[in-house]
Amino acid sequence: MKFSIKIAVLSAVLAADLSFFLFLGTHFPEAYELVFEKMPWADNVEKTFAIITGLVIATVTSLSIAYLMTKRLLKSIQRG
Amino acid sequence: MAETKPPSRKGAPSKEYYEKVSKESREVLVGALPSITLGVVAAILLWLFGKLIFIPIAQGIEWFGYPLPQILTFIILVGLAIFLVRILVDVRRAVDALAGLAACEIGAPYDVTPAEVGHYKTALRSILNVIIVSLAFLLFSDYLALIHPALSGVVLIAIVVWAIFEIYRAVKAISDEIRRYSAEWAGKALE
């Protein structure tokens, strides 16, 4: 996969993850609650898994973006 | 790297030894610097995500009787600790490489011995460790206080005791060098 596509995909995942928790959770709490109400399990269990998964996704995607950019920077320095 | 065994003959090492150490140190430094940057970025991002987004949103939620903010805090602390250990290991490698490189680039023409390089390495490593752990404590302190208000204070006391020990090591390493130089100068003055 090309570098720019990798960065775009990772950025999109990170943006979707953060906007769900930050934007939807704070500005549209009704929509945020509705997502959890639609699920079959108890709200607290769902929210716990969603929040922990959200944190892991945000960390992994941002770390991957930083890793790819550092790798790219090193390559360009070595070429130069 | 700087750990390469010096030649067995007494006095200053040979030119080949300095060339080998210099080459290995450069390679280690090129490998360690991006890794340190990545570790620092990862630790700061994890701290920011936790502090600004996920812990505020977890307020009031309980998971089988356990408050979610404390569970999240624990997960973030484990993550931060892993990143910190990685950063410290990479800093150790980078400092060793820097000391080796400095000995070869600056010290080689003046016949610097590996023991002297070792002293500078110890001093530099101790000072950098204290700086890194103090900065890391700033990342940890809020999360530790969330688990228990006294935890942050206990960790701070432990860090202060450890920092005193590290600074003592650094001062001892430098004072060995100062003692050696003053003995040389005194010897020359008496001649």
Q: Where do the domains of chain B lie?
A: 15-190
> Cβ A63–B54 below 8 Å, yes or no?
no
Tokens linked to B5? 């065994």
The parts of chain B modelled with pLDDT lower than 70 are 1-14, 106-112
Report residue B55: phi and psi, to 5°.
-70, -45
C-alpha distance from A3 to closest chain B C-alpha (Å): 18
| ipTM of the predicted assembly exceeds 0.95 | no
pLDDT value at residue B144: 86
Q: How many CB contacts within 8 angstroms connect chain A with chain B?
A: 63
pLDDT value at residue B162: 95
pLDDT value at residue A14: 92
pLDDT value at residue B11: 55
Tokens linked to A73? 């920077």
B54 near A CB under 8 A = yes
pLDDT value at residue B82: 92
pLDDT value at residue B7: 47
- Which chain A positions have a beta carbon within 8 Å of B57's beta carbon? 21, 25-26, 51
Cβ B102 vs Cβ B95: under 8 Å = no
> Could you give the C-alpha distances from B175 to B45, B75, B95, B166, B168, in angstroms and in order?
40, 43, 20, 14, 10
Q: Would the pTM of this model clear 0.80, i.e. be above it?
A: no
pLDDT value at residue B12: 59
pLDDT value at residue B2: 46
The pLDDT confidence band at residue A27, using thresholds 50, 70 and 90, is confident
> Could you give the C-alpha distances from B159 to A48, B133, B153, in angstroms and in order?
33, 8, 10
pLDDT value at residue B5: 46
pLDDT value at residue B156: 93
- Which chain A positions have a beta carbon within 8 Å of B38's beta carbon? 63, 66-67, 70
> Cβ B53–A21 below 8 Å, yes or no?
yes
pLDDT value at residue A42: 66
